Amino acid sequence: MKKLLFASGTILCMILGIPSCTNSNNKKASTDSAEAEKALHEGGSETYDPGPGYTLAWADEFEGAGLDSMTWNRQVLRAGRFNEEWQRYTDSEKNATVEDGMLVIRAIHESDVHALDQYTSARLNTANKQSWQYGKIVARIRLPQGKGIWPAFWMLGANINENGGDTPWPHCGEIDILEMYGSVDDGVVKANIHYSDSTGTYAKMGAVPFKLEEGKFADDFHIFELDWTADSIAWLVDGEQYISTAITDPGMEEFHAPHFILFNIAVGGQGWAGRPDESTVFPQKMFIDWVRVYQEER
């Protein structure tokens, strides 16, 4: 069994009885002490069963010494490139590294100013290395929390021009397995798809929420699952399905082609995640224990 470790700002201070682990200016979290990392561990469901008829097609358990460059790309993107987000994405290990059998993505506040280009984070993808058409795409994750924080586990069509293909978004298709808008509710994740319909017009399912009965997604690990077949796409959290949508319409051909996986933490995003402020603790962390793809036996 993996030992799963987590630490995040003022919650850990309360658990450990530490008077303060932030500075007086912007509540930046203290360094990751071994004591703090042990405060929250081994939470949530540890096991996953894809059900009869499915076999493991691919997985990354993050058990190696570092991120597998044969599988993952570290995207480098300027601040503001998408959705008016404030972070820039780097290829630095300080923003994404493998530790204690987990992939850890960190969003870091690089100054005392809350503004564009004052944060760094990571956006990892498997473009041109691993992609799949249909299957159960599953990951065990502990999400970050806080105002203006926007973590995501999602997929893009393998033909997108952003990564060397010939098809622009949304014609390539996008599947949002989970997005969480910290400015809205740290106990809610949302599912969505984006595509172009039969007229070539942008279309989407519309974000559908799943809310925890109590607490926040930062309190524990959860298993997030996408069940993608030739007929439909369904979303599950800890085995509970909360939405399914048909993809048989002729205008939804994007979802009958290979897609690759992405993980990232965005900071800000006007209209979606809002903006961080003095109440937002940094660094923010997203812990991915494992990610797996199961496909039907043939």
Domains of the chain plus CATH, in order, are 51-296 (2.60.120.200)
Q: How far is CA 185 from CA 107, 123, 177, 190, in A?
A: 19, 22, 17, 11
Q: Can you give the pLDDT at residue 253?
A: 97
Structure tokens of 98? 């493998």
Task: Show Cβ contacts of residue 114 under 8 Å, excluding neighbours closer than 6 positions.
Answer: 26, 86, 275, 276, 277, 278
Q: Which amino acid is located at 257 in the chain?
A: A
Residues 66, 67, 69, 70: what is their CA dihedral angle, to the nearest 10 degrees? 100
- How far apart CA 201 and CA 212 sit, in angstroms, is 34
- How far apart CA 212 and CA 189 sit, in angstroms, is 9
The C-alpha R_g of the chain, in whole angstroms, comes to 19
- How far apart CA 287 and CA 298 sit, in angstroms, is 33
Q: Are the beta carbons of 130 and 246 closer than 8 angstroms?
A: no
| Residues carrying an active site annotation | 174, 179
Exposure letters 205-242 (e unless 16+ CB within 10 A, then b): bebeebebeeebbbbbbbbbbbbbeeeebbbbbbeeee
DSSP H helices, 17-95, are 34-37
Q: Can you give the pLDDT at residue 254?
A: 97
Q: Can you give the pLDDT at residue 42?
A: 60
Angle at 236 (CA atoms; ends 233, 242), nearest 5 degrees = 85
Q: Are the beta carbons of 142 and 43 closer than 8 angstroms?
A: yes
Residue whose C-alpha is closest to residue 285's, from 48, 78, 4:
4
Q: Can you give the pLDDT at residue 47?
A: 87
- How far apart CA 128 and CA 278 sit, in angstroms, is 39
Task: Show Cβ contacts of residue 211 under 8 Å, excluding neighbours closer than 6 positions.
Answer: 185, 187, 188
Q: Are the beta carbons of 67 and 75 closer than 8 angstroms?
A: no
Q: Is 6 helix (H, G, I), strand (E, B) or coil?
A: strand
Q: Can you give the pLDDT at residue 4?
A: 34
| Residue ranges of the chain whose pLDDT lies below 50 | 1-41
